[in-house]
């Protein structure tokens, strides 16, 4: 009598499918309810389109090195937006629009390279530190603390001096300086997971450390790392732009947003009749960076809000 009564009246939707997938769908739904997320995603997609379709949107005059901005003439003074240069030109007549489009490809290259490499390093080191613990853990964390003690920009400058200028250095430097963040996140997740009963069960049934690590521990810990990674892309590009702005990144004429902003330092104030004459120079490249970073930050914020366990089931 009792079991029949139980099942008929209770109207619960029985979820079908893999629980991991259901969680994912739930997260996606929550994610997109937030208008800020949508704005962030739209912004990022916009830049993705710019980056992917760069060859079509802005055909490079020099196919073997598309990142060199085209310039018609050698006149130093920048020209305002016109039919020929829709967004105006930088000093020495580099087309701003071209720079913006190819700059997004450049930004993505830098951002993804750094973040991907950091994720890898973070996963490896974080797993070692978190899973095996003990003295390995202590060593890794102490070294991470030391890296944390020095502000990134300053250290980046020092390293770039040591390694030589150029975008390659910038990327390498950013990878080197960002690894503690990822390592810490992965490590703390692993510390939580490591003590769970299903790990103990796996050990009891004779699984090797490596197998446990790959099959059980990592899949559960990787989420946070991905969240941190998504939040970090914006900051990484910002620092890379700052380094370029200071002159430590790419050479002049290269389609790098930071470098483009650097060129406007002499043109902040226009001639007395029109003191805002070079507004496009000051405003546009920097605005592109701001928009790009804003998009990633919005997304990262929303992602974090969705996955924050305290706010998840509200």
Partner 1 sequence: MEKLIETQDLYTDFFTFEGVVKALNGVSVVVNEGETYGLVGESGCGKSVTVRSMMRIVQTPGKIVDGKVVIFFRAEDRSRGIDILKRSETYMTSLRGDSISMIFQEASTSLNPVLSIGFQVGESFNFHRRAQMLEETIQDLEKELAARVFFLIRGWKAMQRALFRRELAVLRSYEAEIDRIDHELYEIENQNDRKSLHRKVLLNRRRDRLREKSFLVEFLKRFPFISYYQRRETKTVRRHVVELLRSLGVPNPDRVVDSYPHELSGGMQQRIVIAIALACHPVLLIADEPTSNLDVTIQAQIVDLIKQLKQTKISSVLFITHDLGLVAEICDRASVMYAGDISETAEVREIFHNPLHPYTQGLLRSVPKIKQADQLNTIPGTVPGLVNPPSGCRFNPRCPSKMDICAQEKPLLIEHSPGHWVACYLYTDGNK
Partner 2 sequence: MSLLNYIIRRLLFMILVLFGVSLLVFSVLMLIPPGMRVAAYVTSEKIPPDQIEAMIELYGLNDPAPVQYFRWLARIFRGDLGFSATAEAPVIEGFKKFFPITLELVLYSTPLIILVGIWLGTTGAVKKDKPADHAIRILAIVGYSLPTFWLGLLLLMFFYGFLGIFPPGILSVKGGEVINAAGWNRVTGLITIDAIINWRWDIFLDALYHVALPTINLIILDSALIMRLMRSSMLEALGQDYVRTALAKGAPSRVVYHTHVRRNALLPVITISGVLFAGLMAGMVITETIFVRKGIGWWMARAALQLDVPAIMFNVLFLGLIFVGVNLIVDLIYAAIDPRIRLG
The site for partner 2 (CB under 8 A) is made up of: 36, 142-143, 145-147, 149-155, 157-163, 234, 238, 241-242, 245-248, 258, 261, 264-265, 268-270, 275-276, 279, 282-283, 286-287, 289-290, 293-294, 297-298, 301, 310
Taking the complex as a whole, how short is the minimal distance between the CB of residue 272 and partner 2, in angstroms? 10
Taking the complex as a whole, how short is the minimal distance between the CB of residue 13 and partner 1, in angstroms? 10
Taking the complex as a whole, how short is the minimal distance between the CB of residue 306 and partner 1, in angstroms? 12
Nearer to partner 1, 3 or 65 (CB): 3
Residues that bind partner 1 (CB under 8 A): 1-3, 5-6, 8-12, 313-314
Taking the complex as a whole, how short is the minimal distance between the CB of residue 54 and partner 2, in angstroms? 22
Of partner 1, partner 2, none, which one does residue 162 interact with (CB within 5 to 8 Å by kind)? partner 2
Residue 183 near residue 126 (C-beta atoms within 8 A):
yes
Of partner 2, partner 1, none, which one does residue 289 interact with (CB within 5 to 8 Å by kind)? partner 2
Nearer to partner 1, 6 or 149 (CB): 6
Of partner 2, partner 1, none, which one does residue 3 interact with (CB within 5 to 8 Å by kind)? partner 1
Taking the complex as a whole, how short is the minimal distance between the CB of residue 30 and partner 1, in angstroms? 8
Of partner 1, partner 2, none, which one does residue 6 interact with (CB within 5 to 8 Å by kind)? partner 1
Of partner 1, partner 2, none, which one does residue 2 interact with (CB within 5 to 8 Å by kind)? partner 1
């Amino acid at each position: 009598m009792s079991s029949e009564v139980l099942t008929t009246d209770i109207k619960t939707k029985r979820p079908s499918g893999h629980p991991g997938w259901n969680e994912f769908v739930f997260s996606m739904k929550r994610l997109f309810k937030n208008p800020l997320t949508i704005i962030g995603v739209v912004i990022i997609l916009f830049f993705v389109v710019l980056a992917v379709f760069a060859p079509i949107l802005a055909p490079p005059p020099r196919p073997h090195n598309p990142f060199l901005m085209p310039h018609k003439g050698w006149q130093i003074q920048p020209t305002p937006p016109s039919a020929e240069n829709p967004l105006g030109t930088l000093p020495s007549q580099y087309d701003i629009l071209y720079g913006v489009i190819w700059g997004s490809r450049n930004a993505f290259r830098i951002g993804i390279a750094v973040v991907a490499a950091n994720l890898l390093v973070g996963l490896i080191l974080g797993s070692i530190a978190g899973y095996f613990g003990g003295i390995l853990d202590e060593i890794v964390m102490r070294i991470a603390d030391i890296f944390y003690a020095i502000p990134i920009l300053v250290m980046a400058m020092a390293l770039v001096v040591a390694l030589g200028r150029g975008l390659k250095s910038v990327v390498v430097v950013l990878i080197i300086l960002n690894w503690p963040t990822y390592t810490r996140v992965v490590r703390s997740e692993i510390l939580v997971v490591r003590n769970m009963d299903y790990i103990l069960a796996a050990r009891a049934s004779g699984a090797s450390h490596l197998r446990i690590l790959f099959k059980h521990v990592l899949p559960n810990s990787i989420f946070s790392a991905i969240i941190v990674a998504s939040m970090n892309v914006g900051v990484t590009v910002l620092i890379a732009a700052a380094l370029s702005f200071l002159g430590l990144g790419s050479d002049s004429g290269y389609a790098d947003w930071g470098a483009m902003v650097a060129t406007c330092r002499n043109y902040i104030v226009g001639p007395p009749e029109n003191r805002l004459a070079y507004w496009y120079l000051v405003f546009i490249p920097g605005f592109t960076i701001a928009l790009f970073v804003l998009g990633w930050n919005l997304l990262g914020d929303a992602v974090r809000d969705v996955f924050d366990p305290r706010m998840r089931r509200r």
